[in-house]
Structure 1
């Protein structure tokens, strides 16, 4: 597939990339080969810091990514409350010591990390599930925001606002560049996001189902075969909703919590180590694993760079056709 004409937006200009297409920072999947392939095609690839067991391993992964592409790429640093939190300070130093200048934060507030990153010339993109959180992140000083609609994989928040409303609401409220996330898998989605006021899209599930994605082929085949109906929302009674693939494990989690169970009753079912086995071994019922409603739009497993090119070409075509079709 031939290279797509550059699609410039305030987001691409801010981060020095060619196309406003960002690869989601997915746990266990955001490794060098995938991130480099997305960046080499003109998008923004993202290495996931906590996929690496230690900060030293993250340095190695960043070095591997830089050997595969000379284009900009970012690192995702997910910040979540924990009894035994990861050594975030050491991970931050691993990021800046290797010369990375783009970081995506998610989970808790990025504010405790911003001074350090700003002092080292790192621009932060913070992932938010509501306009109010995006405004707080903007006030705190992030460079850009990723707005996650209810369609997304992982944690969509508790407001249940889909992108069709959330994206233009964010556009009305924010003064910094932002990208839309949740439900995006093709050029129609990118075109729609731009028309709604976003400056690009973040795609996780679409890139999870690419040739460079380091997950088992069984996972990719399931995504291709699945529809938008094949996800579960777990932890709803706990006000910590997560969208995951529908399987025997997530069905059981939903049942236990709906019957009045507590987190302790499902703790073993939702262990991250079990979800990792799904990606590594292809046992689709080994644990829970995140996937978005966008799987209903995914019908193949192409190279990640081809996904970037295809999405941008389709967006150009969709926007041009719309203009012609509605011309006076």
Structure 2
């Protein structure tokens, strides 16, 4: 058993988290992670309405009696979704863990706290992690530059970012970015983290509700098969290398603006990749961890394997160095 501050305070068995992923964080995957002893998050905005989120929470409860959470990512938008209604739905549904990301979660923290909900906030820098701690979150998930999605603009990899954050934080911290196996888990613990968050690795599991062709492409890809888009817009995102992401980078390098790539990066196109398996339909998030992924296990197989191998690494290989 790998017991950490994170497992103790968030009430889970293993220090392994499946964070929120747009179009991916659905009941089947979340429940499978929970049943395997990890912590899974439903992605609130994958559901088109707060009522649909309520139904997804209930579907998850039918599949597991273990703890799980809901991710609420707040991003700038011309037509923002009704965030307050989604938050109210989470509270009314009795969910006890929320993962927040994007904008500052402070406006909603009093409501979460009043409902006895623990809040895990995703950060990409030490300064943001310290701010999250100051406003009262219960834990932080810190993303190194290796991660899929938005790694921030500091370009600090986990080998530096994790211990830098661990040195100044008092609340539990989990590490994210480039982690896909027991070696990453043990390394994160050694660097001062209390657990790990994985996105790309959980994309590529049997219970992940994305098309099989996407999973097979992740297995085929290496750590070289990502693109960084929106660099010139100071809104960097790491996505899988495909015809669309290469085109976006090309347009940016030629001096293009967001308006020039808007149609290419539309969320509806990315959704088609996951649901239809058309790998060039749009952009889709994937991290450098692709280079460490060589199979498509069930969540139980993945988490069980990670924990067993981590225990072996700690008790045998690393312990032998002291002999």
Q: TM-score, normalised by structure 1?
A: 0.98
1:267 correspondence with 2:262: yes
In structure 2, the residue matched to 1:220 is 215
Q: Distance in 2 between matches of 1:23 and 1:225?
A: 22
1:105 to 100, 116, 119: 100
Aligned residues: 323
Shift of 1:119: 1.0
Q: Distance in 2 between matches of 1:106 and 1:314?
A: 30
The within-5 A match list for 1:1-328 is: 6-328=1-323
Q: Which string of whole-angstrom CA distances, capped at 9 and with x for unpartnered residues, describes residues 285-328 of structure 1?
A: 00000000001000000101211111111111111123332114
Q: How large is the RMSD of aligned CA atoms in angstroms?
A: 0.7
Q: Distance in 2 between matches of 1:268 and 1:325?
A: 55
Shift of 1:280: 0.5
Shift of 1:104: 0.1
Q: Which runs of 5+ in 2 are unaligned?
A: none
Question: Secondary structure of the residue that 2:41 maps to in structure 1?
Answer: strand
Q: Which runs of 5+ in 1 are unaligned?
A: 1-5
Q: TM-score, normalised by structure 2?
A: 0.99
Q: Distance in 1 between matches of 2:75 and 2:111?
A: 18
Question: Secondary structure of the residue that 1:286 maps to in structure 2?
Answer: coil
Shift of 1:47: 0.5
Runs ≥4 residues deviating over 4 A: none
Q: Which string of whole-angstrom CA distances, capped at 9 and with x for unpartnered residues, describes residues 18-59 of structure 1?
A: 000000210000000000000111100111000000000000
Q: Which string of whole-angstrom CA distances, capped at 9 and with x for unpartnered residues, describes residues 131-185 of structure 1?
A: 0000000000000000000000000000000000000001101000000000000
Q: Distance in 2 between matches of 1:305 and 1:74?
A: 18
